Structure 1
Amino acid sequence: MTTIEDFTSQYGLVKKIDAFGYMDYLKSNPDAPRKHGKVVLVTADTPLKSVPRRRQDHHDHRLIDALRARGIDATAVLRQPSMGITAAGSKGGASGGGKASLTHPELIDWGLCGEMAAIAAAQNLLVSFAEKAIDEGKLDTILVPRVSEVPSRSLRSITVDAGKNNVAEKVVLTPTSELMQIVVLSRSMDELGKRVAAMIAGTKDGKPVQFGEFIDLWRITDMLADAVKPALTETVNGSPVYVHGGPFANVSIGIPTLVSVEMACALHDVVIVEAGYGTDAGAQKWLDIACREYGAQWPSAAVVVTRASTWRDDPELAWRYPFHVNRLEKLDIPAFPLINLWEGEDDQVPSLRETAAKLGFRDPIVGNLYRDGGEGLADQIDAFADVLANAAAPAARDSHRGMPLIDNVKWVAENAYGVPADRVVLKDGFLDSLGEASELCKDAGLSLDDLALVAVKSPATMTDNDRAPEAERTVTLKKVEVHAGAGLVHVNLTTSLTTPMPKIV
């Protein structure tokens, strides 16, 4: 009998799984054994710049350990972190820490699972082809940036000497690249190839030129043979964890690959999906892009991670964490607060529970997971386990495809940031950027309004000024950028960088 092992191969100290092949096998053999796992979304608060953070990966690891201790077949699907920005794992990476860590953290945090390097090489080769196309008169401009896993300020804006013409280019971090987005969203190599072909390389006489018009796509897709395979690792307690994809939640789509989540749901009863930052960033993109636009499973429950200090120590920003929890509850997603204690905070537990009760939250899950691991959660997840056991099959959600882009952004601002449509501000030059993007799509045979919206924003703010009174908070729209191959349109909101520098930690 064919099993997942037939699609699994050793890749150094971890394993790689041919998720495309396995899901195709299940579609071709509907009677083959499979599960229909429920998705749990784990997201977090909007961080304070002054407060050190441990990523929510700690909590993914401990939750699956705690669930499995209760006999529930649970797993997690994580994004691979950016090696440069996480400073090679020094702020937690995607591997957790202490008793909430993976068995081979260096394989995750140093990019040794392979997809980052392969995607970077493939997109940089695409740019090289575009540069050659300029030499041959097929392009006048290049619209696809080079990528790097190690950020550099000098690479944010560069000019390449191309003989008669100096060509403006830029460099962004690999996780933010269009090719990474294509890997995240594709469910087969055929789909991936079609998306790469649809990437707009640049323009000739003002008209878009797609890569499929002048290169052989196998040169790119062959480079991604291992990059499209999720890595299988495990927690220190032996719980399985899949790692695949790495876009940032603030400047990209911020979710693991759709095929890795689908595969995990076919293999396990509960699948924890990590979405970066809060409901304003990673969770918003899982719900509005993965679910609404690409048919991913709507979560049966959610866990919203915070620190005690982030939640309570800055009165002007105290509104943000309750906003995240309540937003999910309004979407009929049972949302469980999880408060991660640091050393010296154990005496705060009674007051934290009292505050949670006053806010109308479900009973919070509280513990020092770095120190205590899943053992610190085991006796606190009865209500969480009950919700999972009794959750009905989630209904499909309406797509926003065809909604005018500005209306779509205003909808996100109101629902994900708490800013009503009449306080969405258009920065000078935004409408020009919108018009150029619309014309580019029209000339490429696309509709701008049919592309899925990616809100590009600061990870540390939900609005232009989170410290402003609620009635004065605004969101400013700045510019529009088309990722035609990925089927996405980026709208820049608050301050953000696609080549941010790492913290020294």
Structure 2
Amino acid sequence: MTTFNDFVTPYGLVSKVDAFGYLDYLKAHPNESTKQGKVVLVTADTPLKASRGEGKTTTTIALIDALRSRGVDAAAVLRQPSMGITAAGSKGGASGGGKASLAHPELVDWGLCGEMAAIENAQNLLVSFAEKAVDEGLLDDILVPRVSEVPSRSLRQIAVDRGKSDLPERVVLTPTCELMQIVVLSRSMDEIGQRVAAMTAGTKAGKPVTFGSFIDLWRITNMLADAVKPAYMTTQEGSPVYVHCGPFANVSLGIPSLISVEMACARHDVVVVEAGYGADAGAQKWLDIAAREFGAAWPSAAVVVTRASTWRDDPALRWRYPFHINRLEGLGIPTFPLVNLWAGEDSEVDALRETAASLGLRQPVMGNLFRDGGQGLSSQLDGFAAALDTAASDSPALADAVSSHKGMDVVDQLRWIAQSAYGVAGERVLEGPAFAESLASARALCQEQGLNVNDLVPVAVKSPATMTDNDAAPESDRTVTLKKLEVHTGAGLIQANVTTSLTTPMPKIV
């Protein structure tokens, strides 16, 4: 008899799961006993500083440990971190901390699950093919960037010496590249192949040229054989955890692969999914991209994590935390505030509870999860468990939220994101000096390939520490500036740089 373990293979100290194969097997054997796990989305307050986390991974791990101690079959799906900004775990990586951490955190923090390196190599090989295509007269320029796991400002814009002329290129971080987005969104190797074929390599005489027109795609898809398989790990308490795909929801998707979450839902009753940075980033992308446009599961509940200092220290920014919670509640998602206490903050619990009550929030869950792990949460989860048991799957709010926006004018889609996710009315969404030209170029590139730019799904690119051009401004004065667009024809996405702030920070020195 075929079991899940038949799709699991050793990979160093962890395992890899053939999620594509497992779900294909379940589809071919509909009488197999499977579960329909409920998704819980763990997101966070917008951090005060781009290089500082609020504790989503620590919370996610503590939460599944706590649920399992209550007899709930819970698992987590985390993202593979990038060594670029987390600096090999110095910021916390994506492995949790203290008692709420993975059994082998170093394997995640140092990228030893393998997918980052494989995706980096595969996209760089695509660029090498594009460079050869320039030499052979098939391309005039290259639009797809090289990628690197380690950031360097000097590489963001480069020129390759070709003797008679320089060839402009650029380098982006691996989690932000189009190939990572393709792996996140695809549900089969065939789909990955089709999407890679549709990636725009560059242009010839002003006309876009896709990779599928001049290379054998098996060279790329074969390199991804292990990268498409989620890592299968455990917490220190033995709770199951799946780790797949990349971070940085401020400049890309920043969510786990759809296939990893679907696989976990087939095996567990509750699946806790971590989304990148704040609710304006990872949660926005899970809801508005993964769920609304790509059929991912809608959350049955959400947890919004904050550090006590983030909620308390800057009066001009305190509006962001209740905004996030109320936005998710308005979508019909029971949303629970969670305050991730640090050493010396236990005495603040009563005051924080009073603040939450004054804001009309649900009773917050609080604890020093680094110190106490799941034990610090298990006694506080009665309301959370009750909300999961009564989660509605057919509410009017849900029907509206998952209604596709494809075909809506792309600028109107961006205005909708600004209003719904950042609290900025459409009339206060501004266009920067280069936006109109960027939009015209995007429309022309899509038209040449028989695509409608309005059918691409917008991915907001912004600083992780801001929601608007100036979050400290009064509500009536907050704006969002649209700066430029970049088409990802293979992924079916259109990147939109928004707000006047910088996007990706460099790693902090530790």
CA RMSD of aligned residues (A): 1.2
Secondary structure of the 1:222 match is helix
Q: Name the structure 1 match of 2:424.
A: 419
8 Å Cα contact 2:64/2:76 also seen in 1: yes
TM-score computed with the length of structure 2 as normaliser? 0.97
Structure 2: how far apart are the matches of 1:500 and 1:51?
7
Structure 2: how far apart are the matches of 1:254 and 1:385?
27
Q: Name the structure 2 match of 1:43.
A: 43
Query: Are residues 1:233 and 2:233 paired?
Result: yes
Query: Are residues 1:447 and 2:431 paired?
Result: no
Q: How far 1:312 sits from its partner (Å)?
A: 1.3
Residues 417-460 of structure 1 show CA distances to partners (whole Å, capped at 9, x for unaligned) of 00000000001120110000010001011111001110001100
Task: Output the amino acid matched with 1:23.
Answer: L
Structure 2: how far apart are the matches of 1:388 and 1:499?
35
Structure 1: how far apart are the matches of 2:216 and 2:503?
29
Q: How far 1:54 sits from its partner (Å)?
A: 4.5
Change in CA separation of 1:195 and 1:235 when aligned onto 2, cut-off 3 Å: same
Q: Name the structure 2 match of 1:74.
A: 74
Matching residue within 503, 506, 509 for 1:504? 509
Query: Are residues 1:434 and 2:455 paired?
Result: no
Query: Are residues 1:202 and 2:208 paired?
Result: no
**Map of 1:488-503 to 2, 5 A cutoff?**
488-495=493-500, 500-503=505-508
Q: Name the structure 1 match of 2:260.
A: 260
8 Å Cα contact 1:304/1:337 also seen in 2: yes
Query: Are residues 1:9 and 2:9 paired?
Result: yes
Task: Output the amino acid matched with 2:313.
Answer: D
Structure 2: how far apart are the matches of 1:7 and 1:497?
42
8 Å Cα contact 1:156/1:499 also seen in 2: no
8 Å Cα contact 2:40/2:270 also seen in 1: yes
Q: How far 1:496 sits from its partner (Å)?
A: 5.8
Query: Are residues 1:401 and 2:380 paired?
Result: no
**Map of 1:170-249 to 2, 5 A cutoff?**
170-249=170-249
Structure 2: how far apart are the matches of 1:189 and 1:497?
35
Residues 325-382 of structure 1 show CA distances to partners (whole Å, capped at 9, x for unaligned) of 1000000100000001111111100111011011011110000000111101011000
Q: How far 1:393 sits from its partner (Å)?
A: 2.8
**Map of 1:263-282 to 2, 5 A cutoff?**
263-282=263-282
8 Å Cα contact 2:54/2:307 also seen in 1: no
Q: Name the structure 2 match of 1:371.
A: 371
Q: How far 1:279 sits from its partner (Å)?
A: 2.0
Structure 2: how far apart are the matches of 1:318 and 1:173?
31
Residues 259-307 of structure 1 show CA distances to partners (whole Å, capped at 9, x for unaligned) of 0000000000000111112221100000000000001111000000001
Secondary structure of the 1:462 match is coil
Change in CA separation of 1:4 and 1:495 when aligned onto 2, cut-off 3 Å: farther
Query: Are residues 1:316 and 2:321 paired?
Result: no
Secondary structure of the 2:236 match is coil
8 Å Cα contact 1:423/1:473 also seen in 2: yes
Change in CA separation of 1:472 and 1:299 when aligned onto 2, cut-off 3 Å: same
Q: Name the structure 2 match of 1:141.
A: 141
Q: Name the structure 2 match of 1:18.
A: 18
Give 5+ residue unaligned stretches, structure 1: none
Q: How far 1:53 sits from its partner (Å)?
A: 3.3
Give 5+ residue unaligned stretches, structure 2: none
Structure 1: how far apart are the matches of 2:278 and 2:205?
42
8 Å Cα contact 1:151/1:499 also seen in 2: no
Q: How far 1:316 sits from its partner (Å)?
A: 0.4
Structure 2: how far apart are the matches of 1:51 and 1:179?
25
8 Å Cα contact 1:153/1:499 also seen in 2: no
Structure 2: how far apart are the matches of 1:166 and 1:497?
28
Residues 88-131 of structure 1 show CA distances to partners (whole Å, capped at 9, x for unaligned) of 01111110110010000010000000000000000000000000
Change in CA separation of 1:386 and 1:424 when aligned onto 2, cut-off 3 Å: same
Structure 2: how far apart are the matches of 1:496 and 1:309?
22
Query: Are residues 1:469 and 2:474 paired?
Result: yes
Structure 2: how far apart are the matches of 1:376 and 1:196?
45
Structure 1: how far apart are the matches of 2:262 and 2:282?
18
Q: Name the structure 1 match of 2:325.
A: 325
Q: Name the structure 1 match of 2:465.
A: 460
Structure 1: how far apart are the matches of 2:50 and 2:158?
32
Q: Name the structure 1 match of 2:385.
A: 385
Task: Output the amino acid matched with 1:484.
Answer: T
Change in CA separation of 1:253 and 1:52 when aligned onto 2, cut-off 3 Å: closer
Matching residue within 470, 475, 491 for 1:486? 491
Structure 2: how far apart are the matches of 1:413 and 1:142?
31
Q: How far 1:55 sits from its partner (Å)?
A: 3.2
Residues 143-173 of structure 1 show CA distances to partners (whole Å, capped at 9, x for unaligned) of 0000000111110110012233311000000
**Map of 1:57-68 to 2, 5 A cutoff?**
57-68=57-68
Structure 2: how far apart are the matches of 1:31 and 1:448?
42
| Range moving further from structure 2, 145-154 or 222-231 | 145-154
8 Å Cα contact 1:85/1:500 also seen in 2: yes
Change in CA separation of 1:190 and 1:481 when aligned onto 2, cut-off 3 Å: same
Secondary structure of the 2:316 match is helix
**Map of 1:102-121 to 2, 5 A cutoff?**
102-121=102-121
Secondary structure of the 1:332 match is coil
Task: Output the amino acid matched with 2:403.
Answer: D
Task: Output the amino acid matched with 1:93.
Answer: G
Task: Output the amino acid matched with 1:359.
Answer: L
- What percent identity do the matched residue pairs reach? 72
